[in-house]
Amino acid sequence: MSDDYDFDLFVIGAGSGGVRASRVAAGHGARVAVAEEYKVGGTCVIRGCVPKKLLVYGAHFAEDLKDARRFGWNVPDCAFDWPTLRDNVIGEVSRLEGLYQQTLDNNKVTTFHERATIEGPHEVRLASGRLVKAKYILVATGAWPNVPDVPGAELGITSNEVFHLEKMPRRVAIFGGGYIANEFAGIFHEFACEVTLVLRGDQILRGYDEQIRDRLLQISMSKGIQFRFNAPLERIEKQEDGSLKVFITGGAPIETDLVLFATGRNPKIDGLGLENAGVEIEKGAIKVDAHSRTNVESIYAVGDVTNRVQLTPVAIREGHAFADTVFGGNPRTVDYDCIPSAVFSHPPIGAVGMTEGEARNKLGNVKVYTSDFRPMKNTLANRNERSLYKLVCNGLTDQVVGIHMLSPDAPEILQAAAIAVKAGLTKADFDATVALHPSMAEELVLMR
């Protein structure tokens, strides 16, 4: 390392991408520092997918306890205690935060628990006032929930605050139609809240297969979740009894106890000092090339702050590839093709590859196979909820170009199935595989 620099690499943000980049770069022999103004672990671990998935598990017990009676278990009426789940989840998050910090310490990464901003191509200013010089700077500050600019918006909360509610509300209005909105709609509904999902447009889960999202909408409505489509938010007012009154365009006001904004996430770049180094911004995100480098040779960015694909596993791969490229002598890029995704709704969605609509637009000749069935557990539980699996194939080559599933355990099943899509396997390969019976997964190899 040159004497001109305090560190070879300075990382701003200790989330999934930043921690991976720090650890791998240090493993390649670089002297690394990372600054984190909140908690080590980032959005996913601290206030995102990990605590949310724990709430999903907790919510599932509402149906599982009811179903258990059909399986011979004498389950009494059970009361849900929100503070117990909340505090246990917060405790688990704290444990994971400690593990992430331990990873940094074990790899001899210096951690600054304070905000850092960019002063120049090789300079970072800490909140304490210290100026640090680094040969390379990596921005990995993630994204931040979007809050609508309307009167009374401060009366609502985002996914950042939802894990710390003092008590469970009786009524919840959720704004948004994406995966976060639908996941929390399912969670709050299972916790016995009256849930209303309010959307500016006319459909949920844009980008997912139309047939799958329509089925989720039907199931959600049958469970009692209410939907307001084409209903832009106008304002929110607090009532004398502490409740909220939500005014929307073209519809009656909604009376609720909690407003949750789930209207997307924006790259977190405000106040970072990017302009001090001349870093180029495009559509509100840091513009980078295939190697995650900005227009400034010494400054890189990975994860949600680049707004390429806002998924934790993608940020981790970008951080790893960056470290290998810059410090490991192994230049490589991330392959963004066939990235699997999940929506942990009730029931959950798993998806990989092209939707039917995308395939028809791109390939023209398409064959689609579906399996619409009632899972065995649901039959004995006397639950009418049906699962839907879908294979989208190239009509000329027989290659499976997309798999879409709405079913219990769909994300768990899809992870293995995604390998087949990534490998370019054909429908004949699926057909030639012997079914694992009885299982829900066997439907993937039984479609005709």
Q: Are residue 91 and residue 159 in the same domain, yes or no?
A: no
- Look at residues 132, 127, 47 and name the one whose alpha carbon lies nearest to residue 94: 47
Asked if residue 319 belongs to a domain, the reply is: yes
Per the structure, the complete domain to which residue 123 belongs is given by: 7-145+266-327
Among 207, 236, 263, residue at a domain's last position: 263
Both structure tokens of 413: 């099943």
Tell whether 317 and 171 lie within a shared domain: no
Q: Which stretches does DSSP call E strand in 257-365?
A: 258-261, 265-267, 281-282, 285-286, 299-301, 341-343, 349-353
The Cβ of residue 266 has, within 10 Å, a number of other Cβ atoms equal to: 16
Same domain, yes or no: 288 and 354 = no
* Residues 132, 14 share a domain: yes
Q: From the CB of residue 98, how many other CB atoms can be counted at a distance below 10 Å? A: 12
Closest to 326 (Cα-Cα) out of 294, 367, 298, 296: 298
- CB neighbour class for 167 (10 Å; exposed up to 12, middle 13-18, buried from 19): exposed
| Token digits of residue 193 | 């809240």
Same domain for 95 and 14, yes or no, is yes
Task: Report CA-CA distances (Å) from 368 to 107, 320, 338, 387, 416.
Answer: 49, 37, 18, 16, 20
Q: Is there a domain that residue 359 lies in?
A: yes
In the annotation, is 437 catalytic?
yes
- Give the integer Cα–Cα distance in Å for 418 and 389: 13
pLDDT at site 2: 57
Q: Are residues 211 and 295 in the same domain?
A: no
Which residues lie closer than 8 Å to 251 by C-beta, 6 or more apart? 228, 231
Please give the Cα distance from 228 to 176 (Å, whole number).
10
Q: For residue 439, is it within any domain?
A: yes
Query: Over the stretch 167-206, which tens digit does the pLDDT of each residue have?
Result: 999 999 999 999 999 999 999 999 999 999 999 999 999 9
> 33-57 as b/e, with b when 16 or more CB fall inside 10 Å?
bbbbebbbbbbbbbbbbbbbbbbbe
In this structure, are 304 and 378 located in the same domain? no
The answer on 289 and 233 residing in a single domain is no
Task: State the pairing for strand pair 349-353/400-406.
Answer: antiparallel
Q: How far is CA 24 from CA 6, 101, 107, 323, in A?
A: 19, 15, 9, 6
Give a yes or no: residue 320 inside a domain.
yes
Task: Give me 385's structure tokens.
Answer: 């909820």
Q: Are residues 26 and 114 in the same domain?
A: yes
On whether both 204 and 65 belong to a single domain, the answer is no
pTM, to two decimals = 0.95
Does residue 234 fall inside a structural domain?
Answer: yes
CATH of the domain at 390: 3.30.390.30
Clarify whether residues 426 and 396 are in a common domain: yes
Please identify, among 225, 244, 263, the residue that sits at the C-terminal boundary of a domain. Answer: 263
Q: Is residue 334 part of a domain?
A: no
Does 130 fall in a domain? yes
Catalytic residue among 60, 113, 189, 437: 437
pLDDT in tens, the chain (448 residues): 556 899 999 999 999 999 999 999 999 999 999 999 999 999 999 999 999 999 999 999 999 999 999 999 999 999 999 999 999 999 999 999 999 999 999 999 999 999 999 999 999 999 999 999 999 999 999 999 999 999 999 999 999 999 999 999 999 999 999 999 999 999 999 999 999 999 999 999 999 999 999 999 999 999 999 999 999 999 999 999 999 999 999 899 999 999 999 999 999 999 999 999 999 999 999 999 999 999 999 999 999 999 999 999 999 999 999 999 999 999 999 999 999 999 999 999 999 999 999 999 999 999 999 999 999 999 999 999 999 999 999 999 999 999 999 999 999 999 999 999 999 999 999 999 999 999 999 999 999 9
Nearest Cα residue to 136 out of 283, 279, 299, 346: 299
> What CATH number corresponds to the domain at position 201?
3.50.50.60
- Whether 426 is covered by a domain: the verdict is yes
Of 228, 263, 298, the residue at which a domain comes to its end is 263
Amino acid 4: pLDDT: 87
How many domains does the structure of the chain reveal?
Answer: 3
- Rounded to whole angstroms, what are the CA distances from 59 to 74, 277, 398, 424? 20, 47, 40, 37
My answer on whether 140 and 41 are in the same domain is yes
Cβ–Cβ under 8 Å, residues 327 and 30 = yes
